[in-house]
């Protein structure tokens, strides 16, 4: 038995040597491989004549982009960037693109634990729509920066935008867009874009059309056919003068997942402004029949929260098809759920408003609507399962751990996820715990709860 142990020992030593050699080889290989990925730095005190290293940062993202290549990371140091008109990258038709990201595969990341703030209040090109960032490239990631002060100069119908997306496979993460006259994130072209854990708030165009603010949404996707799989996840929109989330004119399905929309349609001091829906999910306004997509997409809105919006919490906006509405919570909106559709994709019918059809609603909770819980729906033409408005159970304020709306603007978790607190979470005796139907999402207890917050019991 002793030799066996000895043999075993020798074998272990040999194996260890082999493993060490392998690790060394892999390390050298990886170092060679990753040495191609470079890092560049942008800082408020940088100069565009600098080399872009950490000790010699450039001043603008525009300059950093010229230095970087696909796979590279540009770190953006914290502090205030007062943007200047001479930094505008391109004037094109009616637009002024301040920063144009058209080079593929570059990461633009806030330096860890720092907050870069880009302020556009000095950029006021006459008769132009201001686009703070145009993302026309692909596989670009932007994380952790703040955009504020984007202006509108045009007095008639117009809009400005903080982030306009026209490329594919881009990720916008943990961005803050506030006190702009501009829309937060606006997707008009491209597939597989992910808008993750971003906040758009207090955006109001107070200049055009007498300050109605009718185009200033938090987030929007309005892409033509062929532009698929665009997703909003973990985002919050509040006090935007038009809608929180808007999917009007989108020709492909969009997913809105775990997002919150509250107080939209109001200015920050609750003055009424424009449409004011939390989630406006579909519709084509007066687009001619021959320009409508065919088929009309079904959007999916799941695990979202709508509170105190001026109009509908969840609104299908004259859509020409149903949407999927799963496990959402609506509270104190004028109508918590408004399923208004148009009749059919046919002449004349495509302009006729009718009660909603073809919608699938499961496990939704509506509570305390200012007007009505559920309006404009033809239930026999929809699939409704285990929604609060269909069940015979009654709940009251004390069934929630808290209805304190100040929790809505709590700081995010360190990883950027939505805050965890007691707002509209169900207390342990609430009768809508386990009142839902299993539709394929994870749940606790015997069955899913109603609404967007699955309780822990």
> Which parts of this chain interact with Ca ion (CB under 5 A)?
217, 242-243, 246, 434, 443-445, 449
Distance between CA atoms of 202 and 240, rounded to whole angstroms? 5
Distance between CA atoms of 366 and 335, rounded to whole angstroms? 9
- 268: Cβ–Cβ under 8 A, 6 or more apart, which residues? 202, 204, 239
228 labelled catalytic: no
CB of 423 to Ca ion, least distance (A): 18
Among candidates 54, 24, 133, 45, which has minimal Cα distance to 89?
133
CB of 348 to Ca ion, least distance (A): 26
CB of 280 to Ca ion, least distance (A): 6
Transcribe 251-312 into DSSP letters.
-S-EEEES-EEESTTB-TT--B-S---SEE----TT--GGGS-SSPPPPEEES-EEES-SSE
The DSSP secondary-structure symbol of 319 reads B
CB of 127 to Ca ion, least distance (A): 23
Query: Is the CB of 411 or the CB of 440 nearer to Ca ion?
Result: 440
Which residue's CB atom is positioned nearest to Ca ion? Answer: 445
Distance between CA atoms of 333 and 390, rounded to whole angstroms? 19
Place of tokens 């200015």: 267
CB of 241 to Ca ion, least distance (A): 9
Query: Is the CB of 205 or the CB of 242 nearer to Ca ion?
Result: 242
Query: Is the CB of 281 or the CB of 374 nearer to Ca ion?
Result: 281
CB of 254 to Ca ion, least distance (A): 14
Q: 233: which 2 tokens?
A: 């996840």
CB of 277 to Ca ion, least distance (A): 8
Query: Is the CB of 366 or the CB of 436 nearer to Ca ion?
Result: 436
Query: Is the CB of 199 or the CB of 242 nearer to Ca ion?
Result: 242
Element (H, E) at 107: strand 107-110
- 308: Cβ–Cβ under 8 A, 6 or more apart, which residues? 262, 263, 331, 332, 333, 405
Query: Is the CB of 209 or the CB of 434 nearer to Ca ion?
Result: 434
The CA–CA distances, whole Å, from 123 to 77, 96, 119, 215 equal 22, 10, 9, 20
- Residues 95 and 125 sit within 8 Å (Cβ to Cβ): no
Residues in the chain: 457
Query: Is the CB of 83 or the CB of 221 nearer to Ca ion?
Result: 221
- From the list 63, 143, 280, 310, the catalytic residue is 280
Among candidates 194, 142, 138, which has minimal Cα distance to 167?
138
Collapsing DSSP states into helix, strand and coil, what is residue 41? strand
Catalytic residues: 280
């Amino acid at each position: 038995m002793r030799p066996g142990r000895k043999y075993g020992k020798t074998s272990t030593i040999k194996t260890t040597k082999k493993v060490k050699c392998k690790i060394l080889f892999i390390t050298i290989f990886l170092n060679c491989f990753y040495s191609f990925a470079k890092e560049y730095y942008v800082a408020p005190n940088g100069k565009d004549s600098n080399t872009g290293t950490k000790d010699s940062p450039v001043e603008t993202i525009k300059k950093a982009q010229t230095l970087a290549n696909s796979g590279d990371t540009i770190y953006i140091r914290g502090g205030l960037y007062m943007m200047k008109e001479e930094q505008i990258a391109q004037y094109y038709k009616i637009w002024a693109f301040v920063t144009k990201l058209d080079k593929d595969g570059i990461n633009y990341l806030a330096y860890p634990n720092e907050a870069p703030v880009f302020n556009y209040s000095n950029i006021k090109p006459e008769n132009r729509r201001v686009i703070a960032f145009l993302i026309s490239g692909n596989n670009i990631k932007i994380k952790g920066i703040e955009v504020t002060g984007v202006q509108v100069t045009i007095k008639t119908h117009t809009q400005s935008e903080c982030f306009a997306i026209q490329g594919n496979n881009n990720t916008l993460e943990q961005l803050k867009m506030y006190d702009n006259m501009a829309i937060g994130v606006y997707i008009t072209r491209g597939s597989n874009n992910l808008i993750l854990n971003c906040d758009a708030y207090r955006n109001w165009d107070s200049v055009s059309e007498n300050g109605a603010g009718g185009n200033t949404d938090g987030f929007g996707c309005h892409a033509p056919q062929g532009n698929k799989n665009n997703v909003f996840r973990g985002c919050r929109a509040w006090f935007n003068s038009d809608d929180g989330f808007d999917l009007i004119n989108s020709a492909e399905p969009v997913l809105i997942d775990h997002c919150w929309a509250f107080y939209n349609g109001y200015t920050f001091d609750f003055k009424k402004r424009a449409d004011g829906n939390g989630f406006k999910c579909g519709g084509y306004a007066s687009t001619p029949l021959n320009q409508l997509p065919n088929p009309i997409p079904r959007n999916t809105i799941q695990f979202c929260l709508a509170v105190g919006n001026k109009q509908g919490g969840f609104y299908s906006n004259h859509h020409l098809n149903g949407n999927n509405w799963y496990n959402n919570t609506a509270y104190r909106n004028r109508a918590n759920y408004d399923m208004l559709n148009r009749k059919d994709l046919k002449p004349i019918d495509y302009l006729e408003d009718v009660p909603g059809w073809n919608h699938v609603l499961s496990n939704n909770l509506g509570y305390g609507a200012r007007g009505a819980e559920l309006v404009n729906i033809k239930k026999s033409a929809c699939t409704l399962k285990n929604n609060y408005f269909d069940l015979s159970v009654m709940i009251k304020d004390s069934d929630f751990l808290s209805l304190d709306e100040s929790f809505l603007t709590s700081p995010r978790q360190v990883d950027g996820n939505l805050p965890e607190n007691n707002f509209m979470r169900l207390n342990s005796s609430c009768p809508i715990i386990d009142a839902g139907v299993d539709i394929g999402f994870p749940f606790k207890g015997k069955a899913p709860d109603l609404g967007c917050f699955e309780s822990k019991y």
